[in-house]
Structure 1
Amino acid sequence: MSDRRIAFFLPTLAGGGAERVALNLLKGMVELNIPLDLVVADTEGPYLDQVPKGVRLVNLGTGRVFKAIPGLVKYLKETQPVALLSHMNHANLAAILARDLAGVKTKLVGVEHETLSASKSPLLRSKFLPLMMRLLYPRADEIVGVSQGVSEDLDCELGFAPGTVKTIYNPVVDRDLTAKAAAPVEHPWFAAGSPPIFLAVGRLSQQKDFANLIQAFALVRQRKAARLMILGEGETRSELEAQIETLGIGEDVSLPGFVQNPYAYMRNSTAFVLSSRWEGLPTVLIEAMACGCSVVATDCPSGPQEILAAGKYGLLVPIENATALADAMVQTLETPVDRAISIDRGMYFSADRAVSEYLKLFDYESH
C-alpha cells in the first residue's frame, strides 16, 4: 500500500458520458504522477484505446457488474488502494459490497451520473435499484452527484438528510479537447457556403429523445434551409430512420454513427441541440460550448439549467415539445451566442478543478 494508489471501477469502456468522465479524471491524475488502476468488469467498448498511458488496466473479465464482485474483493485485498472511485449506480453498489467483503480501509466514493427520479431504465434491475441504494449507499464514505440537481434528487429519493450527497461537476474540458476540436472535419456538409448545421451527439435511445429533435427539425426546415446531424449509435436507430423517411427530410438529416472525435464537428457546426428527457450533467452540452458552439437544450432534470445558468448561455425549452424546440433552433440561427462567451462558460467545467475536488474528498495530497 506504500504507493498510495487510487483505483477506479467501471462496468465497461462503452462510449458513454460516465466513461468519458472517468477517463478525463484519470488523465488529470496521471499528470500528477498518482499511481492509478482502472478496474473494469469487462474491457469491451470503444474507449479502450483512450485509457491514459501509465494507468494499469485490471480486467475482471466477468461481463456483468455483480458477477465482478468476487474479483473486485480479491483485487482490493491484494492491492489495498487508498481510494476506490466507482461510477454509475449498479457499479457503486457492487463496489460497496466488495469493499465490505474485502474488509479493507480503502476510502470508497460512488459517483451518480443520472437523476434517479427521472431515469426510466427498461431493465428489470432498475426496479430494485432505489431499494438497494437506500440500504447500501450510506455505507460508502461519500456519494457524489455530478450536478446540484442530481445530488438534491438523490438525497430526496433515498431519504438522506439534505446535503448528504456532495456535488462535483464533471471534468469535461481539458487541453486534449481543445486540440481535438481544431482537427479538420472530412464530411462534405462542412464545405464553405453550405447550409447551417444543427448537431446532436448521444446514444440513440429513448432518454435522448432524438425523435422530438427530428420532429422539431422538420418544422425548422419549413422556415429555413438547414441540416441536422446526430452522432451516436443505439437501439432507436431504425425508428429514427423510419421517422426521417416519413417526414421526407432524408436529404438534410445524417446519422453517421459513433465518431471518435465529435469535438471537430462541434467546432464547425452552427448550433448544438440537446433534446434529452433526463440527464445528470450532460457532458456533450459543455463540450459543445467549450468548442464555441451556440446551444439549445431541453430544460430536463438535471444539468442544463445549471450549465446554461437558467438560459444566460443558451436557450432552454420544455422537454418533448417540438414546436418550442424548433422556435429556439430558428432563434439561434438568427442570433447566435458569442463564441467567446460559450467557450468561457465551457471552460468553467475543467478537468483540473474536478481532479482537485476529488483528491480533497479522498484526503489525498499528491506529492
Structure 2
Amino acid sequence: MKVAIVIHDLRGGGAEKMMMRLANAISKHQHHVDLVLLTDGGVNKSSLSTGVNLIELKSSRTASAVPRLREYLKSNQPDQVLSALTHVNVIAFFACLSLGWLSRLHCSERNAFSFDKHVNNSPLIKFAYFLAPFIYRSMPNPVIAVSKGVGLDLIETTVVAEKNVINLPNPTLDDDFRLREFSMPTHPWLLEKTKPVIVGLGRLAPQKGFSDLISAFAILKQTIDARLVIFGEGDLRMSLQLQIDELNLTEDVCLHGYVSSPMDEIHHADLFVLSSLFEGSPNALVEAMASRCKVVSTRCPCGPDEILAEGAVGKLVPVSSPRELADAMSDSLSNTQYDFDNQLDHIERYTANNSAISYLNAMVNKRA
C-alpha cells in the first residue's frame, strides 16, 4: 500500500513530531510512505527514517497549497491519504475532492476542537475551523481523534456525529521504551541535585498553564524546599519570568528553554507536572510516565483523564487551581510507594508500532 501523510511542515510541534513518527512506523510494515509537507523544512527532518520519502511542496503558505497538493496526488497516486491539523485537513479535503478521492482521505484532529479554534486569530484559519466540522460530517471515512475526549468534544460542540469519529492512539513512544537507558541530564539542578526538582515541559504559551504552575510552586515552597524547571520556549517567556521575579522565586525557578532530549531530563526529576488548560492527547505526559518519573496533571480537556486512568495512575486536579495543584505536588513528592510498573503498563498503547497498526487497520477497514 502507498500512503501519503500530509502535514504543513516538520517544525517542533507535537502534531508534526507524531506524524513523523507515524510515517517511520508505517514504513516498517513494508508500505511505501510519502511524508508530504505543504511548505517545507522543520527541525524534525533529521529524525525521519530513510524508509520514508519526504516530499516538500514549498507552497508560500498552507492556504495556497491546494493546487500543488492536487498535482502531487495525481502524479503519485497514493492508495491512502492521511492529513493532520484542522487547516491542513481542509486543504487535503479540497485536493482529494477535486480528484474524486474522498474515499482515500483520512483526517486527524490533534486537539480539543472547541478550545483550539480560538487560539489563532487568522481569518483563514478561523474559516478552516468553521468549515472542518461540515467536511468531517460529509466524508466517507471518520475523522481520527487522538483521544476519546477529542472525539467527544467534536461530537458535543459541532455538527459532527458519533459515527463520524474514531479514536486512535498517538505514536508517542519507541517500541522498546521499557528498555531505554537514560543519559545524564544537562540541567545543573538535575545533574547535581541538592533538593527535589519539579519539571514542566511545553511551549511557553497560554494553553500550557505555566503561570498556574508557577503560582502552585510558590505555594508549595512555603512547606517544601524545592526547585522548578520548565523546558520549552515561546512568547510568554518575558511575562512568566516577570511572575517568577515578583514571587521572589528567581533562585528556584528556571525557564530553561528548548532541550533536545527531555526524557533524559525528566527521568532525573522528582516530579513532572502537566498544568495545561487544554490538550488533545498530551505527549509530554506520556513521555514523562515512560521516563519513570512521578506525574501530576490537570484534568484538562482532553487526554489526561484517559492516560492517568481517572487518577488511578497519577493525581488529577482541576484546571487553573494552583492551591489544589500545590497540594497534589506535595502529596506526590512525599509518596514513597509510587507504582512505576503500573504507570508503564498504562502507556503501552502509545508505542509507535501499536499506533501504526491502529492507523493501518482504520485505512484498510474504512467505511467507504
Normalised by the length of structure 1, the TM-score is: 0.93
Shift of 1:177: 5.3
Q: How many residues get paired?
A: 361
Q: Which runs of 5+ in 1 are unaligned?
A: none
Check whether the contact 1:6–1:35 (CA below 8 A) recurs between aligned residues. Answer: yes
| 1:136 paired residue number | 135
- Structure 2 residue 351 is the aligned partner of structure 1 residue 355: no
Check whether the contact 1:156–1:162 (CA below 8 A) recurs between aligned residues. Answer: no
| 2:346 paired residue number | 345
Superposed CA RMSD in Å reads 1.8
Q: Which runs of 5+ in 2 are unaligned?
A: none
2:211 maps to amino acid:
A
- Moved >6 Å (runs of 4+): none
> Quick one: distance in 1 between partners of 2:306 and 2:187?
33
Check whether the contact 1:81–1:106 (CA below 8 A) recurs between aligned residues. Answer: no
User: Structure 1 residues 344, 5: closer, same or farther in 2, change over 3 A?
Assistant: same
Instruction: Pick one of 113, 118, 123 that aligns with 2:115.
Output: 118
> Quick one: distance in 1 between partners of 2:62 and 2:103?
20
User: Structure 1 residues 15, 179: closer, same or farther in 2, change over 3 A?
Assistant: farther
Identical-pair percentage? 35
1:276-333 CA-to-partner distances (Å, cap 9, x unmatched) read: 1111111110111111111110111110111111100111111111111111111110
1:136 maps to amino acid:
I
Shift of 1:191: 3.2
- Structure 2 residue 153 is the aligned partner of structure 1 residue 156: no
More deviation, 323-332/344-353: 344-353
- Structure 2 residue 59 is the aligned partner of structure 1 residue 58: no
> Quick one: distance in 2 between partners of 1:131 and 1:47?
30
| 1:99 paired residue number | 96
> Quick one: distance in 1 between partners of 2:294 and 2:268?
11
> Quick one: distance in 2 between partners of 1:63 and 1:228?
40
Shift of 1:240: 0.7
More deviation, 343-352/285-294: 343-352
2:298 maps to amino acid:
T
| 1:244 paired residue number | 244
User: Structure 1 residues 186, 106: closer, same or farther in 2, change over 3 A?
Assistant: same
User: Structure 1 residues 231, 15: closer, same or farther in 2, change over 3 A?
Assistant: same
- Structure 2 residue 15 is the aligned partner of structure 1 residue 18: yes
> Quick one: distance in 1 between partners of 2:133 and 2:182?
45
Check whether the contact 1:172–1:349 (CA below 8 A) recurs between aligned residues. Answer: yes
Normalised by the length of structure 2, the TM-score is: 0.93
> Quick one: distance in 2 between partners of 1:6 and 1:244?
47
- Structure 2 residue 229 is the aligned partner of structure 1 residue 232: no
Shift of 1:180: 6.3
Instruction: Pick one of 83, 88, 103 that aligns with 1:86.
Output: 83
> Quick one: distance in 2 between partners of 1:347 and 1:293?
16
Check whether the contact 1:198–1:271 (CA below 8 A) recurs between aligned residues. Answer: yes
> Quick one: distance in 2 between partners of 1:212 and 1:223?
18
Check whether the contact 1:277–1:301 (CA below 8 A) recurs between aligned residues. Answer: yes
| 2:201 paired residue number | 201
- Structure 2 residue 281 is the aligned partner of structure 1 residue 284: no
Check whether the contact 1:180–1:264 (CA below 8 A) recurs between aligned residues. Answer: no
Check whether the contact 1:212–1:322 (CA below 8 A) recurs between aligned residues. Answer: yes
| 1:321 paired residue number | 321
Shift of 1:156: 2.4
2:146 maps to amino acid:
V
Check whether the contact 1:133–1:158 (CA below 8 A) recurs between aligned residues. Answer: no
User: Structure 1 residues 60, 140: closer, same or farther in 2, change over 3 A?
Assistant: farther
Shift of 1:265: 1.1
> Quick one: distance in 2 between partners of 1:43 and 1:60?
7
> Quick one: distance in 1 between partners of 2:2 and 2:349?
28
> Quick one: distance in 2 between partners of 1:238 and 1:132?
36
